[in-house]
Amino acid sequence: MIHIAICDDSKQERQILAALFKRYQELHATPLQIHIFQNGFSLLDAIDQGKRFDITILDILMPGENGIEIARNIRASGADTEIIFLTSSPEYAVDSYEVKAQNYLLKPVTEEKFFASIDSILAELDEKDTASFIIYTTEKQYSRIRVSSLVYGEVTHRTITLHLADQTMISAVMTFTEFQDILKAYPGFIYPHRSYAVNMNYIQYVTKSDIILTDGQKIPLSRNNYMKISEQFLNFAYTNSFGK
C-alpha cells in the first residue's frame, strides 16, 4: 500500500488531486491510500504522531507557512517522503531543490505530466524497497519481511516478535544472535538492549533510558549503550537528512 498525503488549502484542488490518484490507481492497479490535509500544520502534526507517507503533494501558496516552509519542517523531522510541489506560481522552483523535491508542477497540471511524475517516484520506491528476508513463523508458514517495513524486533526466550509498520506482528522461533545474523546484511539497525533490534528510520529521538519511536513507543536502552547508540543514531540521521 502506497500512502499519499495531499496538502492544499483549496477544496477544489484537493478534489482534483484525489480524482487524479483514483484514476491512476484504476489504470495501474496500484493500491493507494489518500490522506487529505487542508493546511501544513495538520500535515506536520500527523507526521509528528508517527504517520508515514510515501509521497507528499504540497501546494506552495497557503495561509500561514507556505509549502516550502512546510517541506523544510518535514525534512527537519527526518520523515522519509517524496515531495511534489503543485502550485500556480513558478517563483519558488529554485527553493524546491533545497528541500529535495521530486518535482515542481504548475497548475493546472495535465494528467500526462502528473502520472509521469508518480510513475518516476513509484519506480524509485520499488528500487528502494526490494530488500527482504524470509522467516519460518510460529504459524508454521514462510513469510517474507520487507526490511523497510520492520520497525523493531524483540526476543523473548527463543521467540522473536517482529513489529511492522502496519502494526502487525509476526513471530518466529530463533535466538537473538540468529536474528542479528539476518540483519547484518541490512544497515540501519541498532541494538539498544540484549533483546531488541531497532530500525533507525523509525526513531524519533534517544534518551538515556529509552529509544522513542515515531509512534511514541519506548524501547529500553541499556545505560552502558547510551553513548554508542546516540552516536550511531546521530550519524544515521545526519547522513539520511543531508547526505542523499
What are the pLDDT digits (tens) for 102-157? Answer: 889 888 989 999 999 999 998 887 766 667 788 888 888 888 888 888 999 999 88
pLDDT at 45: 92
Would you state the pLDDT for residue 241? 47
Which pLDDT value is given to residue 55?
A: 94
For the chain, which residues score pLDDT lower than 50?
A: 241-244
Contacts of 112 (CB under 8 A, 6+ apart): none
Interatomic CA distance for residues 131 and 240, integer angstroms: 18
pLDDT at 79: 81
Q: Which of the 8 DSSP states describes residue 109?
A: P
Q: Is the pTM of this model over 0.85?
A: no
Enumerate domains of the chain plus CATH numbers.
2-128 (3.40.50.2300), 132-242 (2.40.50.1020)
Cα–Cα distance, 80 to 125 (Å, whole number):
11
Phi-psi category of 56—alpha, beta or left, where left has phi over 0 and alpha has psi -120 to 50? beta
Distance, CA of 43 to CA of 41 (rounded, Å): 5
**DSSP conformation letters of 26-74:** HHHT--EEEEEESSHHHHHHHHHTT---SEEEE-SS-SSS-HHHHHHHH
